[in-house]
Amino acid sequence: MQQLPGGPDIIPVKAQYTDLENRSVAVVVSTSDYTDFNHPNARPFITREVTRRIKAGVPGVTVTNPDEVLAWQEENPYWGTRPPSMMIKQLGVDRLVLVEIGQYRTHEPGDRYILRGVISATINIVEADAPDPDKFGGSYPKTVMFPRAKDTQIGMAGVSEQQIEQQTKVWFSEEAAGLFFDHELVR
């Protein structure tokens, strides 16, 4: 890890899963009803942004339009109860990137006045050609926090809850998609 003089850290990141190259891929994001109600743009934003970043970073990948995936979720309200093999068949892809968000918040628990965005999820990969497509081909926990602990004392005055949420979603999407290609994070 490098640090820019007076600036953010530059963190080199190696891909953890490399079998999206030259494959068709759909990104499906799962959020709780609580998150959907209180943050209705969270799931659509993360779906679109992770899809966009995978398309930009993985050579030869073909991604399903995220709006089609979101429409499929709306048309199939019990999609999350289906086995992964059925989901991947219905979406007609080689790989399914299933982002299961467990925690999504914009402030510290129990204190509305201390703003800190946190998104915790498990990113699971479903492989259509696996011997058992109901077993994940990879499972990666990911937690993103904004601001970072070292940044809470400086530069956060006057930042709104919406700004905290937006930056947390951007960082999370960047790190979730970054599981699939080498890149650098600037933090």
Distance CA 153, CA 160 (A): 16
The residues that bridge with 107 in the sheet, in sequence order, are 115
Q: Per this entry, what is the length of the chain? A: 187
Q: Which domains does the chain have, with CATH numbers?
A: 14-178 (3.40.50.10610)
Name the residue with tokens 């891909």: 15
What's the pLDDT at 8? Answer: 72
Per-residue pLDDT tens over the stretch 120-155: 999 999 999 999 999 999 999 999 998 876 665 444
Q: Which amino acid is located at 24 in the chain?
A: S
Q: Select the highest-mean-pLDDT range: 7-11, 152-156, 167-171, 183-187.
A: 167-171
Distance CA 164, CA 42 (A): 13
Is residue 4 over pLDDT 50? no
Average pLDDT, the chain: 90
Distance CA 73, CA 71 (A): 5
Of 106, 136, 108, 110, give the one whose Cα is nearest residue 124: 136
Distance CA 20, CA 55 (A): 10
Per-residue pLDDT tens over the stretch 149-168: 666 544 456 788 899 999 99
Per-residue pLDDT tens over the stretch 46-80: 999 999 999 999 999 999 999 999 999 999 999 99
